[in-house]
Each structure stands twice: as C-alpha cells, then as structure tokens.
Structure 1
C-alpha cells in the first residue's frame, strides 16, 4: 500500500498540536488501531447478576457435596457433608453479595462524579461513525477531510446518526434546559450546519488519535447559540464508540469579551491610521511645498533674466538648472511616499499557506455563523512553504471568504463555502468556491477593476486590492463563474526555489 502523509487535525483549541495516532500507530492496512482491537465481553455485570451468580454457584457446590454424601451412605444423611455444603453456600452468597455491594457503590460513585463534576459532561454514541470510517477505508478512502469536503451532504447524514445518550445536571443548567431528556437524540439537533469541528472529529478518529479537543458552537433548546470549549478521550476499541464522554465549558462570555477587545483594537487602529494620514499629509505638504516654491522663484528669476534689454543667458540657465533640481526633489518626495503606501511586501518570510488559511477561517468565523455558511477546508499534505507577507495573504483570504459568504446570503438550502490548497507547477494554488448566484459573463472582465461592485453598498475596491497584493508577490489571481451555480476564485503564489 502506498504510504500517505498524514494530515494534522484542524483544532481551534489554543496551542493544540495536530492529533497524533495512538501509541502503536495506524496499522499497515490503513485501519486505525481501534478497528482491530479485541472486543470486550458484551453486556454489563450488575449487582443483581452477581447475586444470581452466587446462588447458582452455591447450589452447584451444595448439590455436589450432598451427592458425595449420598455415595458414601446411601439413603442416609451425612452430617459433615451437609455442614460443609451449607458453609459453601453461605460463603458463595456472602461473596457475591459483597461484590454486588462494591459494584453498587462504584456505580453510585461514577454517577456522582458524572453529575457533580462541576463541568458539562455528555455521553454520546458514535458507533455509526466507526462503521462509516471502516467502510471508507476498506473502499480505499483514507483522507476523511478531502472526502467529506467533496461530499458535504454525506457529512451531514453521518452527523445525524451520532446520538446523545445522556447529559449531566450541569449541562442541563448550562444549556437552559428542563431535563436531560431535552438532549437525548441526534447530535445534529444541537450541532448546527455551520459547525466546522465534526469533520475534524472524523479525521482524528480515522487517525487513531487518543484525544480530540477544540471549540464548537452549539444550539440551546431555546434556539440561542453558545460557544464551548470541549475535549474527549477517543476510544481504543469499537465498543468504546458507544460511550464517548465529552466535556464542555461555556466560553460565550469570554468570546464576547474578546470580540469587544478586538473591536476596540480595530477602532484604535483606525484612529491611529487617521492620525497617521493627517501627519503624512502635513509632512507631504511640507516636503512638496518647499521645492514647488523654489521652482516658482527660479521660474520668475529666469523670466526676469530673459526680459532684460540684454538677456542674461548664463543667469537664466542657472535659474533653469535650479528649477530642474527642485522639480527632481519633488518627484523623489512623491516616489518615496508612493513606495511607503504601496502593497509591496516589506516583511516576507517562509509561510505555511495551510496555517494562514486556517487563521483566516477563524478570523471570519463569527460572520460565517451569522450568514449560515458551512466552511469546508482541505489542503494537500506536505505543501511547500512560500515566501510572502503572511498578514497580506491572510487579508486576501479573508476578503475572498467574505465575498463568497455574501454571495450566498440569499441562497436557500445549504450554503457551502469550500477552500482548497494544492500544488500547481512551481506554485501553491488556493481555490475559494461558493455556491451562490454566480457572476454574469459581462461582468467577469471588470470585477478586478477599482470601483466595480455588484453588491449594494460595496466600494468595489476589495478584489482590486487583492489582485494588486497577489501580483506584488509574483502570483496570479483569477475567477471562474457559472451563473446560478457559484463562483470560484483562484490565486497562486510561487514556491521559493
């Protein structure tokens, strides 16, 4: 079998490394370790079962001893054998009763931990997911992310098959529900279509990762949405998929505070830009006015020298020379200012475009949720790095993602926005595809021109700036569109040799 480079799990958990396979790795068959692990004995040993087992053992021992007594003295009771049999029965019953008591206490302790942990706990059944992963791998499909990016409806169908079995009291309180019964049922009732973590669960499970943790937004019974930070120990065998325990923490308040902080920083940056523009304008006016004044003075002097009864040619030439020198100075001032304000990258470094794309997806996460957009991300493993200004490339991606989302804002049904990264002829290519209304053929030639927009209230500068930025990196930006089906924007960035 051809070895494939494993893709890391895309996690929103701060500082979370990509999921690694469990110890022992993924077997050479391509199956995760849990698929071939020995199954545990079916069923659960209960306290009542232990007591019943004790009665059976006691009866068996007693019958055996009485049978021995009957063989020694047919038709007569053998007192020592009877005493031993009774003691054996008592010991068997006492032992089974003690084990049953310990089991009851252990179950109560586990239930107490589940209910009083002070954190939201969910018991979920992911058995259909395990079977789906095994079926896909047997069919030769090992890249879950690529497969489900290309088949978003299959992803939705699989999410509907995951069921919530139980939740603790803290979860009921956190979610503003009446009882655990409000949650029992399919996972997709609380995990909206805009969620981006479910497919990463599949990637982690298919890789045999021991743990998965990330952020997710879930829907309360009243329809409101909260942000959560969750973690789960992933199963090591097939039986474990029936009882996956997920912990969740409500971080809605934290996210709201963070959003306010970002808004305040954005406003501060805007105010700083206004001050910078004012300072730059004053500096530019000063720098340009000085040579312009000198140009005017030298031009007037030249005219006076030439209007004399006997023109002073040498003096006029000197004045013209000074005029040319000041004009050159003014030109240099304008050139320096243009260079300062241009999109020419000033902080280039080797950039992982997949990481930059993930950052861009997180930046626009809230806007995607508000517009009901399902973002699907896929990147070839082992993509080479490119030399670029990471901030500018992230701005390009954010602009393209928002354009795609806004193009689908009025589209009924699922709104899938797909971003793919792949290698292409000495470059890395990025495709951002929406399923919106598309762009008419007559407009395609003008969409990258300044002040051209099809959106009410739009300035028409975003795509022009994006193309300018990509071209300044030595790349290319273009688009394909089919009216009624959607638009795909593509751009390439050259690989550093």
Structure 2
C-alpha cells in the first residue's frame, strides 16, 4: 500500500474548502462553527507555507551543490576571496572626498600594503592546487599577501578599479608558488557594486608562463633574424662595391706597374711611363665616379640621365677590362652601326652594365680552349638601341635561368650573384630591359635595350 503525501495544491484546496465551509457553518450554526472553520484554514495555510519553505531549502541546497561542483571541476583556476577591508577603505576615502584613488595610494604606499595583507583567500578549486604545484588548499587559505611578491604592481590597479566603480577587472601579474617558483598569470574578476559583494569575489586565473616564454623566444628569434638581415645587407653592400670597383682598380694597378717598368729600364722611357701614369689617373677618376654612382644607387638616389652613345660606351668598357682580356687570352670584337641614335641614361651606370656583361663573358670561357672570342654588337631601330654581348662558353644552366637577375644568384662557383642584379636595376631605371637568349648553345648572349632619346631630351642649350 503506497503512502499518501499531500502536495501544495492539496493544502491550498483544503484552505479554500475551509473558507467555504466556514461560510456555510456561520450561516447554519453560528459563530462557534465559524471559529472552528477559520482554525482549519489557518492550519492549511501554515502547512502549505512549511512545504514551500522545505522545497525552497532543498532547491537552494541543490543549487549550492551544483555551484560547488562547478567550482571544483572547472578546468581553469578559480579563487574565492574576501576583500571587505578594501571595500570599506575605498568607501571611506570616497566619503571623505578622496576621488583620485590612484594618486592617494601613490602617496600612501604603506596603506596599500596594509590593505593587501587584509585580503583573505577563502577557497581555491582543485585545478588551482594542481597549477600551483601545492599539496592542498591549505597552502593558499589566508592572506593574499603570501602569494603576491613585493614586485607585484597589480594590487594598486585593483584599488583604482574599485575606486572607479569598474564592473570588471583584468590584469596580468606573476604569483609565487608554494615551492618558490613564479608563474605569469592573467587574472579577471567581476567587481562588486556594494559592500556586501566584497565578501565573496570570484577571481579566475590563467597560467600564461609558457606563452610568455614562447613570446620571448619569438622576440629573440626576430631580433636574431633582424641582426642576420643587417649582416646580409652589409655583406651585399660590400660585395656590390667590391664588384663595381675591382676592374678599374685592377686597371690602375696594371698601369702603375707598367710605368714602373718603363722607369726602371737601363734607359728609362719617360714618354711611355707618362702615358701609363696618365691612364692610371684616368682609371682613378673613373673609380671615383663608380664609387659615387654605386653609393647613389644603393641609397636610392635618382640617376643623372643624359644623352649616351652606347657604341662609345661599349668601347670604353672594353678598354677598362683590358687586363682581364690579357689574363684570359680573350679577344673582344665590337660591331657597332654608324650613326646610332643616343639614349637617355646615366653614362657611368651604363658603362658598368657593359663592363659586367663583358667580364661575365670573358670569365665564362676561361676553361675553354683558345681562341676565346667575345662579340659585342650594337644595333638600333626606330624606338631603341640594343647592345648584345655573346660568348662561346658553356652557357647558363637551365636551373639558374629563372632567377639569373636576382641578387645572389650566380652560375659561377666563385660568383657573388650581385652584378646582373645591379645591371637589371640600372637598365630598368633608364626605362630599358635586359634579358638572356633562351636556349642558346653553345655560349650565352645577353641583350640590353634602351629607348631612343627624343629630340627634346638630347637638346642641350
């Protein structure tokens, strides 16, 4: 036989019925019956209220148990703290007319330290115990001052946030583990709006120690990469200058050595020595121009275009590499049309472009059997003048061709990969283009094409 348990509705029904019975009894039996009926109504209401109170208590206990379970089982560090002394102090200061909380505690740091010692940690969850490497919650219960190092700067920010009436507080700080190790943590909390709320502030903490270490490693790697980039840039600059001045300096050396030989003969040949020294002086002047133009080029200074005769420029370039030609037993054959139109370009840059191309052609054939010939042709049409430099060497490997004009790309074992990159920049700065014949074998042919100067450009009053 099942037991009967009245429901709240039953109590309410009895109370309502009691009121109805009381009315009927009062009409039929008089005041004594009415008093009895009212007592029945009162008993029914008391029973209903008692049932509702017991149900509310059970629900409250259930909700509290649920909150406790959520607190303990959360996968993030949770702290319950009592900040009541801080709340009282802030309210007292504001009541006393102090509204700049930051300035006040900056002038009274000992008061801030005293308040920090009064903030109490009431509870932490299991995840906090694990994160902090502690034995139990007992390692944390007590003053907040125990886990915040003297170097902590965030407590004052808490005080300022309370003083401003902020709804939330977020900050990054480091705390001391029971074993003495420091953890970098990100804290956040909902801030109370009344003194009662200061009794139980829930604080979440996220361990970001590994993240900070990773960020530090990335910064270190970026710093090292920047340093390596600077070293590479300096290396490229040095290589560029060395590449550009090597040929005229070598020519200076050859002419000075020739002058010394003429002077040291039993009967010195002064005219020949004088000519050699004149050539050395001219080479030195060209070296100075090369250095100046290279500096302007690397500093992105605008070039100084003027009408240039590419045939004459090719002849000068061939003279400048005379020592390399003799060293490698190579001949240059210049084939230029007569009456070539001029182009607008920087003459020194164009001279260096052709010197680079001719030197590359000479060096490409140094392992070839004699005779070794470099052919330089200069042709024009209605819109452009084109200089072609051809050699009979092994050619450019297919793997190198796509990046041949990029910095540090070279088909030579001892090449720096700077010359052709500089050539392309110089030629394109003059509005022209440079390219390599595709699939030519044997040898390689480089072409430089520059637009013909207009009448207005060549006119020089």
Output the TM-score relative to the length of structure 2: 0.48
Greater relative CO, 1 or 2 (CA 8 Å, sep 6+): 1
* Structure with greater Cα Rg: 2
Output the TM-score relative to the length of structure 1: 0.45
